[in-house]
Amino acid sequence: MDVACVVVRDLPIAVARRDQPGLRGKPVVAGGSPEEHAQVTACSSEAAAMGVTLGMQLRRALALCPRAVFIPLRQADLLAEAACLAELMQLSSPVVEEVAPGHLHMEVRGLARMNGIDDKAFLGELHQSACATTGLPVSLGAGESVFVAHAAAMAGSENGCPLVTLAPCDTRRFLAGLPVEVLPVSPAMHQRLHLLGLDNLRDVAVLPRSAMQAQFGPDGARAWDLAHGRDTSSIVPGRQSLLEADLPAPAVTTDALLAATRELLQRALQDTRLRGQSLRQLDWRLQLEDGTQVARRLVFREPTRDLARMLFVLRAKVEQLQLTAAASAAGITLSGLCSEYGHQANLWPIGPRRHRELMEAIEQLNTREGGPQVYQVIEVQPWSRIPERQLALAAYGG
């Protein structure tokens, strides 16, 4: 075996059920209370069977699944659980990549031989150690490539088989029966594949590679290669920078918290190891005097090292906080470090003037045609079970 994938499906749900055994078997939705204007972050299989999906408004999830138990998203606790799992894997493998919290890829080539046992025994011990240490339903898949290991782990967690190891001679046969959702492509492509009658990797593999490429472009060609077990991707160990500092005095105001964060960011960006590097993700956390932690994650649309931009995005998060006590310490973790990123500037200025010009153009169009021509979708009764009552069209600017 060359590569292993370790994954905890629906990490927020798994952690909640471990800490509250009474939630097992019940539909659970993570993201907050239905009264909050927030989205579903994770949901159990029982809730998904009722139509709940990731990204759905919590009020809509309540309408679809009235018996669901709604739990808050404790980001700090989840990051701690994910860090514990990652540290455990790093004790066994020198190359570990964290794809997402609770989802790791790692190299295992030659590790079993170094320990004087065979691959299956080594992976079995690794899996048992992960389950015993975290108390979570960890699934482990192993194979000759990153995609094969990932597919094995995901299929195992779905089928109740937490440990799946694939020899090269078994890879093609195993992949053939997997649904197309295992392919690392966009949800829109998954839907198009189903519309074309391509429900599993066997259906994709029997097509000519040129046909997949003509229909879906480079993603189609890669999907065809993966369906045949051909994967040239490699594991990239995550690079991150972690900084923490005690506040000079307990703080609760937005300006004080942002000032402390500014100092941490300036120290991080001045580090010679990060010279010329941009970041994709910022994890921000506070340690409160009552012993609790507050954490927020910022994922930037484009990699950046612009301090002002980071603080602008963070301010919106901080202003919404309702702290139970004053903050005594702050910390940041910079993740997704990469080379500097160039992008196309705006072709025209944006702002109030541009908005007025747009509104004037819409008014002229409405006057010329004798009625509203541009509409926008608005929520009316998002909690209603009748789709026609949830949304409505309203004249834009009317």
**Of 311, 339, 367, the domain-final residue:** 339
| Cβ-Cβ contacts under 8 Å for 120 (sequence gap 6 or more) | 165
Q: Please report whether residue 246 resides in a domain.
A: yes
Q: Please report whether residue 160 resides in a domain.
A: yes
The arithmetic mean of pLDDT across residues 168-197, rounded, is 90
The arithmetic mean of pLDDT across residues 34-60, rounded, is 89
Residue 365: its pLDDT value, please?
Answer: 82
Higher per-residue confidence, 367 vs 151: 151
Q: What's the number of domains the chain is made of?
A: 3
- Angle between the N-to-C axes of helices 11-19 and 75-90, in degrees from 0 to 180, rounded to the nearest 10: 100
Residue 228: its pLDDT value, please?
Answer: 92
| Pair (295, 390) in one structural domain | no
| Pair (145, 277) in one structural domain | no
Q: Please report whether residue 71 resides in a domain.
A: no
- Percent of the chain whose predicted confidence (pLDDT) is above 70: 93
| Pair (365, 332) in one structural domain | no
- What is d(CA 19, CA 64) in angstroms, rounded to the nearest whole number? 26
Write the DSSP assignment of 189-216 as a string of letters.
HHHHHHHTT--BHHHHHTS-HHHHHHHH
Q: Please report whether residue 390 resides in a domain.
A: yes
Residue 340: its pLDDT value, please?
Answer: 52
Residue 238: its pLDDT value, please?
Answer: 62
**Which of helix, strand or coil describes residue 94?**
coil
Closest by CA to 279, choosing from 318, 313, 316, 241, is: 241
CATH of the domain at 168: 3.30.70.270
Closest by CA to 315, choosing from 262, 352, 270, is: 262
Q: Please report whether residue 253 resides in a domain.
A: yes
- What is d(CA 134, CA 101) in angstroms, rounded to the nearest whole number? 13
Q: Please report whether residue 234 resides in a domain.
A: no
| Pair (82, 190) in one structural domain | yes
Q: Which domain holds residue 363?
A: 352-395
- What is d(CA 18, CA 94) in angstroms, rounded to the nearest whole number? 29
| Pair (118, 259) in one structural domain | no
pTM confidence score: 0.63
Q: Please report whether residue 27 resides in a domain.
A: no
| Pair (142, 172) in one structural domain | yes
The arithmetic mean of pLDDT across residues 264-292, rounded, is 80
Residue 176: its pLDDT value, please?
Answer: 92
The arithmetic mean of pLDDT across residues 75-101, rounded, is 86
Asked if residue 192 lies in contact with residue 203, where contact means CB atoms within 8 angstroms, the answer is no
Q: Residue 179 pLDDT > 60, yes or no?
A: yes
**Which of helix, strand or coil describes residue 247?**
strand
- What is d(CA 245, CA 254) in angstroms, rounded to the nearest whole number? 17
| Cβ-Cβ contacts under 8 Å for 9 (sequence gap 6 or more) | 137, 139, 154, 157, 158
- What is d(CA 272, CA 363) in angstroms, rounded to the nearest whole number? 55
**Which of helix, strand or coil describes residue 241?**
strand
| CA dist 43 → 46, 158, 240, 387 (Å) | 8, 14, 29, 22
| Pair (123, 172) in one structural domain | yes
Q: Please report whether residue 37 resides in a domain.
A: no
Q: Residue 341 pLDDT > 50, yes or no?
A: no
| Pair (298, 257) in one structural domain | yes
Q: Residue 115 pLDDT > 50, yes or no?
A: yes
pLDDT tier at 189, thresholds 50, 70, 90: very high
Range in 35-44, 54-63, 382-391 the model is least confident about = 382-391
Closest by CA to 139, choosing from 120, 122, 152, is: 152
| Pair (265, 301) in one structural domain | yes
Residue 276: its pLDDT value, please?
Answer: 67
The arithmetic mean of pLDDT across residues 35-60, rounded, is 89
Q: Residue 157 pLDDT > 60, yes or no?
A: yes
| Pair (335, 356) in one structural domain | no
Mean pLDDT (the chain) is 86
Residue 152: its pLDDT value, please?
Answer: 93
Q: Of 202-206, 298-302, 323-327, 333-337, give the range with the top mean pLDDT.
A: 202-206
CATH of the domain at 324: 3.30.1490.100
The arithmetic mean of pLDDT across residues 256-263, rounded, is 90
E strand segments, 75-217: 96-100, 103-107, 139-143, 163-165
| Pair (293, 320) in one structural domain | yes
Residue 342: its pLDDT value, please?
Answer: 47
Structure tokens at 169: 């001679």
pLDDT tier at 348, thresholds 50, 70, 90: low
Q: Of 114-118, 136-140, 253-257, 317-321, give the range with the top mean pLDDT.
A: 136-140
- Percent of the chain whose predicted confidence (pLDDT) is above 90: 36
Higher per-residue confidence, 275 vs 58: 58
| Pair (189, 104) in one structural domain | yes
